[in-house]
Amino acid sequence: MLLQNKQIAIIGAGPGGLTLARLLQLKGLNVKVYERDLNKDARVQGSPLDMHEGSGWAALREADLIDVFKKNVRKGADKKVIVNERAEIIFSDHKTNPVESEGSEPARPEIDRGALRKIFLESLQPDTVVWDSHFLSMQAQNDGWLLHFKNGTSAYADLVIAADGANSKIRPYVTPIKGFYSGVTMVEINIDDAEKTAPNIYKLLNGGKIMAFGNGKCLLGGQKGTGGLGFYASFKPDENWAANSGLDYMDKAEVLAWFKKEYAGWSSAWYELFENATMPAIPRPIYCMPLDQTWESLPNLTLLGDAAHVMPPFAGEGANTSMFDALELSECLTSGKYNTLKDAIAFYEKSMCKRASAAAKRSLENGERMHSDDALEKMLAVFGIK
């Protein structure tokens, strides 16, 4: 095997990085995951994820985690409500989309991000994840890399896989290609104990997710297993809006005033989200890698997930794509089909870039639809709703 007796370092403990660690450990390989978070509880996990049959679901099967995954599926979380800016229900599948029966495999099962992370963490060997390891730099050493972290520690690896997200610090070691601004910025807000703090919106979601369209803007939200809500106000400002808006994202009143102005014409029913949000609100300019990106493969370093192909979230492909990256990369590294690590990595990267390009194209196209003046009609058509 190409990686026999070699040390593998995965940078980043997101869905892609943890999936890869699990798959490689099942093959008996030596893996460490270096994560910048102080510990497993340091990060607030966002809205639920839906697992797609050919990607995230496939990776979970190969990781032998289907049974424990099913125990954590959010029943009914895949149900959706589509409304206009006045919070009037245009479509709901809560009565026509039955909850999956016990033991069945739903088409697109939903799970909280925190629950998914916990499943993978508990599947790994003890001390696989090295917490408080904020990657700073690395240098070539022997046939591998010497990694340096903010806490003053260093570690050697024969193979490094960057799974450190959209702002990857490892990507520049592979390619100088940078992402472009998609034209969309999202402002994330989270509401705790929503049944009490935002009862009207909580009732509207009814345990599922919601999409609201109007005036070239949208609100996207979903219920978390903790009883909270995660929402994104999505609109099309210039690229530097987040830094130049002057908003104090810790100030609830300021953020609410911004929403009232930016989303003029939207119902006051939405205000309870901002009035009861847990600060700070988080602005997220949305970037995408060029659809035709390519680079010369290296024998000891590669990328997966957002580090390789950050894209808009409007096709629900982000986590699923990164988990499938992990599945395909693990197969390339362990199948015995390739003579060298560089050959294995090159095959994976070519396939990965092609898949990611197609997903990114769909995401960009959906993003344009969702922020158009007639977004509601267009999105109803996408879902086949008359």
Match 């602005």 to its residue by tokens. Answer: 283
Kindly state the helix (H) or strand (E) to which residue 211 belongs, with its residue range: strand 209-214
Spatial CB neighbours of 379, under 8 Å, sequence gap ≥ 6: 82, 211, 213, 369, 370
Spatial CB neighbours of 351, under 8 Å, sequence gap ≥ 6: 328
**What single letter denotes the amino acid at residue 56?**
G
Residue 347: both structure tokens together: 């095959």
Residue 11: both structure tokens together: 């940078």
Distance separating alpha carbons of residues 73 and 75, to the nearest angstrom: 6
- The reply, when asked if residue 43 is annotated as ligand binding, is yes
Q: Give the angle subtended at the CA of 200 by the CAs of 199 and 205, to the nearest 5°.
A: 95
**What single letter denotes the amino acid at residue 213?**
F
- The reply, when asked if residue 61 is annotated as ligand binding, is no
Sign of the four-CA dihedral 66, 68, 69, 75:
positive
- The reply, when asked if residue 113 is annotated as ligand binding, is yes
- The reply, when asked if residue 325 is annotated as ligand binding, is no
Distance separating alpha carbons of residues 30 and 27, to the nearest angstrom: 9
Q: Which residues are annotated as a binding site for NADPH?
A: 43
Q: Which residues are annotated as a binding site?
A: 43, 50, 113, 306
Q: Which residues are annotated as a binding site for FAD?
A: 50, 113, 306
